[in-house]
A and B are shown apart, each in its own frame.
Chain A
Amino acid sequence: MKEICPSLYGEYAAGTMDEGLALIVASYLSVSGCPEARAQVGTCHKLAGTMLETLCEPVEMTEGSLQSVLAKLDQMPDPCAGKAPIALCDDLTLPAPIAALMGCHGGKLKWRSIGGGSKMAVLPRPACGSHMMALHIAPGRKLPEHKHEGLELTLVLRGAYSDEQGTYVAGTLTCNEPGTTHNPVAHDTDGCVCISAVKGMVFTGFFTRLLSRR
């Protein structure tokens, strides 16, 4: 099942989505410009904004809160360290949301070979979410068939990959439901560069070995 369920955008917009998964969605919105996805998120934001206006009975602020905020208006917020583009491979840079996360972690990907010319890098783990990884799969190479216990979101950034259900080109967000098994193969000539998060996944030596097994 590859189609993105619109409820996913609801969970993203509500801010209740696992942060690793949410960062993949944010990356998708930042790189693809997919009007459908933007419209879905936009609808959710409008819905929530309207609820804020109409369903929230005001709760009185503590005394002095306005004065306290007014006193801080002239202090500029700390600039974010993560503005600089971070290379993913060749001339491809990481999507801005992931770069912002990386920027506060030294800003360099640590690639590990997973055999056959393919490599992976574990991305910094968000405070409230699952691990994410960047994958660079060599042309025509397979990842071992794998099954996930949690939802997997993958954003294809360059090249393409195929599995039993179809082919996914750069700019595509794919979704694999918990319990599903798939057998991805990178594009014959371009290979595949992607970022991925699996809910609940914690990287272990086992997973690294699994990835390197062919």
Chain B
Amino acid sequence: MQPFSAKSGPATSHSPGTIRAGEPTSEDLLVAVGQARSRDAFIRLFEHYAPRVKSFLIKGGTPPDLADELAQETMLTVWHRAAQYDPAKSGAGTWIYTIARNKRIDAARRKAARGGAAHNVPVDELFFLPDADTPTPDQAIAEAQETHIVSAAMATLPPEQAEILYKSFFENKTHSEIAEETHLPLGTVKSRIRLALERLRAKIGPEMAP
């Protein structure tokens, strides 16, 4: 479970499932998929991310079979949308997370649709990818090493804040559900999330402050 290295040179060896220092970063691979339609780069991204996306979906309560299917759909969308990926705007993990999250929303909607009225707008049309954001040049520098920076910032959070963020982002729980589960008032859950996000923002991107 090695966080990604910062930008580095081209690969000299192929190691399925992991990307190590000295090999292209995930960002490089995603650019290769988007710009050169490289199937090799896609295969490497698949080997790294599909099992993580599957794990993420299972943590959020998706049954393993469906999680497998959705992880495949996520990677297919990665292929189709990779041309829109800009490494100056987001890290590969962040970009792929938003696609995986959208697949999870889509799956919940398909389930709801079986019970009655619904629509069939692809969720990616409704919820933007991070590329819709318009970062400043300073921000772009921070993005390139985002995993390191965010990991370090997360490690400084008080455990009670980190736990709530984890339940929200990873266990797919609404703030009300978290309040019930932790026997905390909803206002406390919200304020812990607010405090955690403020702290992270101060560390991740002070240049983004208005």
Question: A interface vs B, CB < 8 Å?
Answer: 5-7, 9-11, 13-17, 19, 22-23, 26, 29-30, 33, 35-36, 38-62, 65-66, 68-70, 72-73, 76-78, 80-82, 96-97, 100-101, 103-105, 124-128
Interface readout for B49-73 with A: 1 if CB under 8 Å, 0 if not? 1111111101100001001100110
B-chain residues with CB within 8 Å of residue A47 when the two chains form the complex: 150, 154, 165, 169, 197, 200
* Residues of B with C-beta under 8 A to A54: 1, 3, 147, 151
Q: What 4 A-B pairs have minimum CB-CB distances, sorted nearest first?
A: A49-B94, A58-B51, A127-B118, A50-B150
B174, A16: Cβ atoms closer than 8 Å: yes
Chain B contact residue count (CB 8 A cutoff): 90
B96, B102, B204 interface centre (most CB from chain A within 10 Å): B204
Asked whether any CB of chain A lies closer than 8 Å to the CB of B76, the reply is yes
Contact partner, A46, options B71, B96, B204, Cβ 8 Å: B204
Q: Report chain A residues within 8 Å CB of B132.
A: 29-30
Decide yes or no: A56 and B95 within 8 Å by CB, A39-B201, A126-B119, A128-B105 being known contacts: no
Alpha-carbon distance A56/B59, docked complex (angstroms): 9
A73–B52 CB distance below 8 A: no
Contact between A49 and B121 (Cβ–Cβ < 8 Å)? no
Residues on A with C-beta less than 8 A from B68 are 61-62, 65
Shortest beta-carbon distance from B30 to chain A in Å: 12
Decide: B52 and A56 in contact? CB cutoff 8 A.
yes
Q: Are A68 and B72 in contact (CB under 8 A)?
A: yes
- Given A49-B94, A70-B39, A127-B118, do A40 and B197 touch, yes or no (CB 8 Å)? yes
- How close is B208's CB to chain A, nearest CB, in angstroms? 4
Q: Chain B residues with Cβ under 8 A from A104's Cβ? A: 119-121
Cβ contacts under 8 Å, A6 to chain B: 193-194, 197-198
Q: Which residues of B contact A45 (CB under 8 A)?
A: 90, 94, 97-98, 130
- A26 contacts B119, CB within 8 Å? no
Asked whether B52 lies within 8 Å of A53 as measured between CB atoms, the reply is yes
* Residues A11 and B197 in contact, CB atoms below 8 Å apart: no
* A10 lies within 8 A of B197 (CB): yes
- A13 to chain B minimum Cβ distance, whole angstroms, is 8
CA distance A133 to B148 in the complex (A): 43
Contacts of A23 in B (CB 8 A): 126
Is the beta-carbon distance between B165 and A76 smaller than 8 angstroms? Answer: no
Which residues of A sit under 8 angstroms from B71, Cβ to Cβ? 61, 65
Add 11 more A-B contacts to A30-B132, A68-B72 (CB < 8 A). A9-B197, A22-B127, A40-B197, A48-B97, A50-B151, A52-B100, A58-B54, A69-B79, A97-B125, A103-B121, A127-B109
> In the complex, what distance in Å separates the CA atom of A5 from the CA atom of B208?
18
| Neighbouring B residues of A26 by C-beta, 8 Å | 126-128
CB-based contact A10/B170 at 8 Å: no
* 24 A-B pairs whose Cβ atoms sit less than 8 Å apart in the complex: A7-B175, A7-B191, A16-B172, A23-B126, A39-B208, A39-B209, A43-B197, A43-B204, A47-B150, A49-B146, A50-B3, A50-B93, A50-B151, A51-B56, A51-B166, A56-B52, A58-B54, A66-B47, A69-B46, A73-B39, A97-B125, A100-B121, A101-B121, A104-B121
